[in-house]
Amino acid sequence: MTDPIELNLDGNAFPDRTERADAAANRALILTTAERLFRERGVENVCMAEIAEVAGVGKGTLYRRFANKGELCLALMDSQLAEFQDSMLGRFQSLTQQGTPFLEQLAQFLESLVEFTEVHSPLLLEVARAGIVHMDARLNVPHFWQYMTVRALLRSAARNDELVADLDLDYFGEALLAPLQVDYFRFQRYVRNYSTARIGMGLRSMVKLLAA
């Protein structure tokens, strides 16, 4: 029987969400305003000063909550990212119980990630531009969780003798995600005019090349 994947994310991975009622209200107002402005005019066409003005909060209040537009976009994605994570972890559990090879689970994850990136690429682009990286209390940065998931699936595949010998799993974890880095993803979509289905099938083909 195959073992489940191990992501090694403990219960303290996410920051404490406890905050004062007035601070929570300001945060919700800022996010609601930003979401509306982004929807009406596009993420790239809205600046932080305009968000503060329309929300009726001072710039200082805005920047105390979000240092830049990338952090604000990451906060807007918070619930969607959590839902995506939960749905994928549930799928992994079900597939593992069914005896589905881990490389097939990896291919399905990458295909799902293509669709997630497609939907959220305007927000992800701002996160990338802001240079938000993994730190001890920032484990919800999208790329970090994606990488940890891919690496865990590769390690599980290796334990079950699904991979060719002597692969650098850490490197291939990054290499498989490289086409999903948002700037290159958008190049594929809007310059090369690749469909999301084509990108997903390409990633699945790359996974197949790793098979023993």
CA dist 73 to 30, 67, 126, Å?
11, 11, 7
Provide the token pair at 204. Answer: 């699945």
- What is the per-residue pLDDT for 162? 97
18 vs 179 pLDDT, higher one: 179
CA dist 154 to 137, 168, 171, 208, Å?
25, 10, 11, 12
- Tens digits of residue pLDDT in 94-106: 999 999 999 999 9
Domains of the chain: total: 1
Q: Given a cut of 50, is residue 185 above it in pLDDT?
A: yes
Q: Where are the alpha helices (DSSP H) in 4-77?
A: 21-41, 48-55, 59-65, 69-76
Burial of 40 from C-beta contacts in 10 A (0-12 / 13-18 / 19+): exposed
CA dist 138 to 12, 55, 74, 199, Å?
11, 26, 11, 29
Range of the domain at 185: 1-212
Global pTM value: 0.78
Provide the token pair at 69. Answer: 């537009």
Domain harbouring 141, CATH code: 1.10.357.10
- What is the per-residue pLDDT for 3? 55
Sign of dihedral through CA atoms 125, 42, 35, 54?
A: positive
- Tens digits of residue pLDDT in 60-113: 989 998 999 999 998 998 888 888 999 999 999 999 999 999 999 999 999 999
